[in-house]
């Protein structure tokens, strides 16, 4: 049963999630194959912001500033983008099963990744620039391109029909999956197949300050734009016709929600691979706890998504240290049974 909150209580919920996320960041910097104490972390930060002239321990500086901090910030941005996208699409489609993967984001990114891993080396396109930017650029182009294709196919008389878009997404995803399987089966070497498989399982291990700035430049402005559509998405819960009569620009909201979801999830998948169930499960948890009001659901979902990926990433790099578990495996192991439990619970309520 959702808890009904007033404005003050909503702010307390958001503050609580923000504090929990900060605690998660501190714990994430301490934990890992190499232990770093709080004093060393404080010295690194003090020297970086000019509060101390002491030179920090070089090992602690490398671990905290160059490895774990960009990785934790990347986890926050990725989790926030995935969860907020899921919340927006579920509100837009009025379907609790709606997920960014349904509109082609993940499938398109995977097609771009196959081009980067398999096609470019086959045609001799290699080099430092290709190695650094080939995968994220092609995966991002693939995700946005396939989403745009699904959007265009689902247009009927200049309007987007939700059911048509979901069905188009299912069909296009099936086609893209077949093409990916065909490409890796025929053309990929063992090393390329292994690289693509690890990428598709998701990992934040490759995060650095460059990826942080690129992802932040796309995700942070998108988060603020997305939250502005909270009232419009509340109106969508009543139905598209009702939303139109309430003064909502229905088609404009649809285009904005789909575009923002595509670029937020696209840039995340481009850098860190496919991280499943965050966009599907986190909005459900917030909705079950505090109700479907998007004024709270969107910002709380973003904070909870960031917190969830901080916890998942910290667990992934410590549970079998010094080796590392792919984060997509972890989110699927935890998210799959949780979502299955939600479905079974829903069926029992319908039977009563």
- Residue bearing the bigger pLDDT, 346 or 80: 80
Pairwise CA distance, residues 45 & 56, whole Å: 9
pLDDT at 310: 92
DSSP-H helix ranges across 31-122: 38-48, 58-61, 69-93, 105-114, 120-122
Pairwise CA distance, residues 289 & 225, whole Å: 24
Range from 142-146, 160-164, 304-308 that averages highest in pLDDT: 304-308
Phi, psi angles (nearest 5°) of residue 118:
-110, -50
Least confident interval from 50-54, 145-149, 184-188: 50-54
**Percent of the chain's residues with pLDDT above 70:** 93
Strand partners, 159: 156
Pairwise CA distance, residues 347 & 350, whole Å: 5
Pairwise CA distance, residues 5 & 268, whole Å: 32
| pTM, entire model | 0.87
The pLDDT tens digits for 25-71 are: 999 888 888 878 888 888 888 887 777 777 777 888 888 888 899 99
Tokens found for residue 40: 């060393």
Q: Is 239 helix (H, G, I), strand (E, B) or coil?
A: coil
The pLDDT tens digits for 58-88 are: 888 888 888 899 999 999 999 999 999 889 8
Buried b / exposed e over 255-288, threshold 16 CB at 10 Å, is: ebbbbbbbbbbbbbbbbbbbbbbbbbbbbbbbbe
Pairwise CA distance, residues 307 & 278, whole Å: 11
pLDDT at 3: 59
Task: Report residue 347's pLDDT band, with 50, 70 and 90 as the boundaries.
Answer: low
Among the listed residues 132, 91, 66, the one whose alpha carbon sits nearest the alpha carbon of residue 279: 91
């Amino acid at each position: 049963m959702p808890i009904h909150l007033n404005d003050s209580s909503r702010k307390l919920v958001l503050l609580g999630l923000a504090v929990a996320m900060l605690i998660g960041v501190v714990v994430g910097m301490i934990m890992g194959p190499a232990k770093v104490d709080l004093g060393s972390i404080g010295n690194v930060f003090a020297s970086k912001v000019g509060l101390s002239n002491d030179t920090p321990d070089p090992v602690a500086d490398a671990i905290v500033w160059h490895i774990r901090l960009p990785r934790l910030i990347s986890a926050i941005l990725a989790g926030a983008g995935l969860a907020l996208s899921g919340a927006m699409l579920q509100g837009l489609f009025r379907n609790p099963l709606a997920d960014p993967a349904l509109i082609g984001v993940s499938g398109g990114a995977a097609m771009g990744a196959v081009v980067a891993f398999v096609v470019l080396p086959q045609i001799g396109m290699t080099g430092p620039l290709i190695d650094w930017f080939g995968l994220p650029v092609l995966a991002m182009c693939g995700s946005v391109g396939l989403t745009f294709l699904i959007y265009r196919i689902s247009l009927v008389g200049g309007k987007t029909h939700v059911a048509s878009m979901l069905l188009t997404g299912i069909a296009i995803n099936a086609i893209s999956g077949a093409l990916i399987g065909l490409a890796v089966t025929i053309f990929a070497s063992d090393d390329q197949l292994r690289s693509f498989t690890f990428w598709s399982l998701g990992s934040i291990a490759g995060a650095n300050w460059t990826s942080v700035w690129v992802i932040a430049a796309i995700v942070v402005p998108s988060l603020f734009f997305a939250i502005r559509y909270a009232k419009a998405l509340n109106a969508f819960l009543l139905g598209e016709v009702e939303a139109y009569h309430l003064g909502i620009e229905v088609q404009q909201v649809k285009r904005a929600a789909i575009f923002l979801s595509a670029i937020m999830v696209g840039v995340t998948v481009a850098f860190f691979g496919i991280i499943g169930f965050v966009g599907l499960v986190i909005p459900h948890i917030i909705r079950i706890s505090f109700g479907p009001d998007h004024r709270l659901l969107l910002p709380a979902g973003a904070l909870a998504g960031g917190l969830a990926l901080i916890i998942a990433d910290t667990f992934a790099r410590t549970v079998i240290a010094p080796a590392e578990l792919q984060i997509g495996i972890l989110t699927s192991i935890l998210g799959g049974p949780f979502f299955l439990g939600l479905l079974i619970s829903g069926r029992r309520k319908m039977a009563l």
